[in-house]
Amino acid sequence: MKMYMGGEWVSRSKTVPVTNPFTGQPFDSVPVAGVEDVDLAVKSAVRGAAAMRKLSAFDRYEVLMKAVGLLKQRAEDIARTITAEEGKIIAEARTEVARCVQTLTWSAEEAKRLYGETIPLDASPGNAMKFGFTVRVPVGVVAAISPFNFPLNLVAHKVGPALAAGNAVVIKPASDTPLSALKLTEVLLDAGIPPEAIQCVTGPGGSIGDALVSHPDVRKVTFTGSRDIGERICKTAGLKKVTMELGSNSPLIVLPDADLIKVAEATVASGYGNAGQVCISTQRVIVDKKIYVDYLDILTPMVAALSAGDPMHESVKVGPMVRERDAERVEGWIREAAHSGARVLTGGERSGAVMRPTVIADVKPEMKVSCEEIFGPAVAVTPASDIDEAIRLANSTRYGLAAAIFTQDINKALKFALEVDSGNLNINGGTSFRADMMPYGGLKDSGMGKEGPRYAVEEMTELKMVIIHR
Ligand code: NAP
């Protein structure tokens, strides 16, 4: 596909292939943008932002709702594109498109809710004749940098609120998965978004990222991706608003009064969806010693029964990882854990980019499969003596995006919610739950700022204070 910038679809002499992770075969290509393209795209977006400011809130609502209609019409084509470039199973790709419909719908609705408030200035001494109110205005140009793992919906989580708030947006999609973002761009343009209000620039983040995030005409950077790239962007962006949605190694705590079948089902759903490449995947399961063996006895056959392979086949439950080298990394970490005393109860083998769903028991917190973000289809299980030790283990990480507990004891559930440092806290549900309208974002090195359209429009607007001196 071509990329979209400066109000037109353009190609460049240098291109990069888009590869199907399961077959390993390239099936499309996109242009490699240079830093001069980034400058042109941002300057065009400045004009796009001026065009957006002329649209009323109702205009913005209408155009986004039209995009929702077009997205529904193109759902199957876009789902197949997601599976082809990202590798998630087709059922998950269809779910991602359905979620994107929700994200854009919520964004459209937020266009109508950019409220300010009156400020009672006469409540401060000597200001009886002052009258004040706030107004929310768009920031102007938003740079949106997205990861590979939800190549449609995580782009929509940036683009939808940016446009709803009246901004222009420059998208830099992940190089492994640019097609879904380009197809979303097409949908928005066909719906009637002003031509320069959206730009989708393809090319390696390593070579064009700095030019985009440091550009003086970009006022807001919203990034979803890995911790280290996020930190680099924060340093490069300088005095700009930033939202950082970064990685995690989410813990799930199991107490003795939990329904172990429910817990095992939640572990499977939360641990192996999208081949474990979800920022809120369950990675660490911390299980009370009294039920440790019982839990593993229930979980292991469930995981062993998951079929792994071609993500286009409706019966396959776990597809390939996005790149073979990532599957090799996960395989290496599992082997390293096994050499250090952990037990691989099922899985551990790899065929190309397809990693067999894996359960590792007796994992020590200092093993990489526990303390680093594995981002693959493997769950690390560790015993704990009681809830205090479980919470201590859950918190012994630099990350804090999502956590879960299974218990019937309301006091212990509340203790978990108050004491575990995490953005999302699930009680009797897996870590990977996300409804697209909820506030979503991590603590500690998992990031800062929130997504979810209502919260993202706040991050993508400025609050102005108006004072009338009477
Ligand atoms: P990544 O390697 O950090 O890449 C993310 C994006 O950053 C890509 O578009 C990438 O472009 C770009 N990039 C790379 N270097 C850059 C630079 N110097 N300046 C600006 N942009 C740059 O992450 P990923 O492998 O795609 O995604 C996996 C990570 O994302 C995991 O850590 C996961 O936990 C996290 N994630 C977090 C959330 C959340 O909501 N918290 C959601 C999903 C994923 P190229 O592709 O061209 O390199």
| CATH number of the domain to which 420 belongs | 3.40.309.10
Return the pLDDT at 141. Answer: 99
What confidence score (pLDDT) does residue 451 get?
98
Which token pair is 305? 């029964």
Residue 112 CA to ligand 1 center (angstroms) comes to: 31
Same domain, 162 and 17: yes
Residues 392, 272, single domain; the answer is yes
> Do 456 and 385 share a domain, yes or no?
no
* Mean pLDDT of the residues in the chain: 98
Residue range 216-248, pLDDT digits in tens? 999 999 999 999 999 999 999 999 999 999 999
> Band of the pLDDT at 44, cuts 50, 70, 90?
very high
Q: Do 38 and 157 belong together in one domain?
A: yes
> Once rounded to an integer, what is the mean pLDDT over residues 210-220?
98
Task: Out of 85, 86, 200, 279, pick the active-site residue.
Answer: 279
CA distance 155 to 171: 8
User: Per the domain annotation, does 385 fall within a domain?
Assistant: yes
Residues 161 and 284 in one domain: no
Query: Are residues 283 and 191 part of one domain?
Result: no
Are 65 and 106 in a shared domain? yes
Query: In this structure, are 453 and 423 located in the same domain?
Result: no
Do residues 199 and 268 both lie within one domain?
Answer: no
In this prediction, residue 436 carries a pLDDT of 98
Say what the pLDDT of residue 193 is: 98
CA 252 – CA 125 distance, rounded (Å): 53
Is residue 433 a part of any domain in this protein?
no
Whether residues 240 and 257 share a domain: the answer is no
Can you give the residue range of the structural domain that contains 72?
3-246+444-469
pLDDT digits (tens, 9 = 90+) for 51-87: 999 999 999 999 999 999 999 999 999 999 999 999 9
Do both 64 and 195 map to the same domain? yes
- The mean pLDDT value for 271-294 works out to 98
Distance in Å, CA 227 to ligand 1 centroid: 8
d(CA 373, CA 118): 45
How much is the pLDDT for 228?
A: 98
Which residues have CB under 6 Å of ligand 1? 145-149, 154, 172-175, 204-206, 209-210, 213, 224-226, 229, 232-233, 245-248, 279, 373, 375, 401, 442, 447
The DSSP string of 173-223 is --TTSHHHHHHHHHHHHHHT--TTSEEE--S-HHHHHHHHHT-TT--EEEE
Same domain, 172 and 159: yes
CA–centroid distance, residue 234 to ligand 1 (Å): 13
The pLDDT assigned to 94 comes to: 98
Is the residue at 326 inside a domain?
yes
- Residue written as tokens 């392979």? 309
Q: Is residue 438 part of a domain?
A: no
Task: Report how far Cα 188 is from the mean position of its chain's Cα atoms.
Answer: 20
pTM over 0.95: yes
Task: Please tell me the distance from the alpha carbon of residue 213 to that of residue 196, in angstroms, as a whole number.
Answer: 19
**How many domains are contained in the chain?**
2
pLDDT digits (tens, 9 = 90+) for 311-345: 999 999 999 999 999 999 999 999 999 999 999 99
Q: Is residue 97 part of a domain?
A: yes
